[in-house]
Homo-oligomer: A and B are copies of this chain.
Amino acid sequence: MLGECLENVRKLVPLVHNITNYVTVNDVANVLLACGGSPIMSDEPEDVEDITTICGGLNINIGTLNLSSIKGMFLAGKRANELDHKVLLDPVGAGASALRTNTAIRLLDEIKFTAIRGNISEIRTLAFGSGTTRGVDADVADSVTEDILDQAVSFVKSFAKETGSIIAVTGAIDLVSDDVRCYVIRNGRKEMGRITGTGCQLSGMMTAFLVANPDDLLKGAAASVCTMGLAGEIGWDNMRPEDGNSTYRNRIIDAIYNMDKEILDKGARYEVR
């Protein structure tokens, strides 16, 4: 059951180094604290190697990248690799600009990622060097639906094989896969797309789950996705008529804070293919 993966985060309190965008960084920090981890942020090249050394995991998110923080990403990623830390890539906006696409692909070339999490459009860009990106949301035409599920599962498995990373594609249906098994997850609500940064938040949280679940990384990653999606469902149930996306953001993080093994085990909706 996935609930024990959350318990492991609560027990270990993994310290996660985040090089992440300034849009959603506060929510990333609060989600890490909500799930039981501990966040630290640093992107200055002269600072990141020391910071990542004292952490258990590194979350690299390329939203609002700049030339200095890109240097920081490479330095931190290489150091984290040397120390055998868990490292996650969130290729925000890959496909939307040459700098983002090229940076994501170079990161993939030079750093070994434990996991890569993005929407289908971003992950396709990494896999095929093409695709279109509509802002940071998945291209609707390319979303993972029941109709194309088999094809999508086979794509993520093969990209996981190619990269040696866990691939997490999140959207209406979430896929979390290594080259053998793929968790198909049906938690979450479409209204989560009206809040900025639920993807970034998940990337931070997933890094904590990877650190705390070294014996079954795929299960740990899937547990983080179910935690976020289920929190989206619980948070929505707690909404009042006058509430909107700003309060929903708070309610989702609150639901993660209050989640425990039992709630997650009962609410997680997934199959393994």
Contacts and interface: CB of A to CB of B under 8 A. Distances in A.
A245 B238 contact: no
A244 B197 contact: no
Interface residues of A, number: 63
A245 B47 contact: no
A145 interface: no
Given A38-B134, A256-B244, A47 B65 contact: yes
Given A50-B98, A100-B47, A137-B38, A245 B68 contact: no
A22 B25 CA distance: 8
Interface stretch (A27-35, A123-131, A172-180): A27-35
B97 A50 contact: yes
B254 A99 contact: no
Nearest to A26: B23
A99 to B, nearest CB: 4
Contacts of A260: none
Given A51-B97, A97-B51, A137-B38, A29 B194 contact: no
A30 B249 contact: yes
Contacts of A34: 194, 244-246
A54 interface: yes
A30 B47 CA distance: 28
A63 interface: yes
A272 interface: no
Interface string A10-36: 000001000001111111011001100
A272 B61 CA distance: 47
